[in-house]
Amino acid sequence: MNDDARKSCGRHLRRIEGQVRGLQKMVEEDRYCIDVVTQIQAVRAALRRVEDEVLADHVSHCVDAAIRSGDEGEQRAKVSELVAVLGRRTR
């Protein structure tokens, strides 16, 4: 990953860590289930955005490096890997 992407992901993950701690507190304080679920959905959406960011960086750096290398085997490997990881994604 490039420097900017790494910093941005690190910042988002620290924020997500705080949200997970907030969730623990909500559960301990026995807050209303629907509010807990809504907050879990928000944390999952935030993680999805980090996933998007890492994948975009991967395509523009690692996959692009394979393209520039001209190495067909490497290119095929990167495409398979990308299809596999994108296939496992969930919303």
- The contact set with its own copies (CB under 8 A) reads 1, 6, 9-10, 13-14, 16-17, 20-21, 23-24, 27-28, 30, 32-34, 36-38, 40-41, 43-45, 47-48, 50-51, 54-55, 57-59, 61-64, 67-68, 70, 72, 75-76, 79-83, 85-91
Nearest to 2 by CA among 84, 57, 48: 57
Q: How far is the CB of 46 from its own copies (least distance, A)?
A: 10
Q: How far is the CB of 49 from its own copies (least distance, A)?
A: 10
Q: How far is the CB of 37 from its own copies (least distance, A)?
A: 5
Nearest to 89 by CA among 58, 48, 57: 48
Q: How far, in Å, CA of 10 to CA of 25, rounded?
A: 23
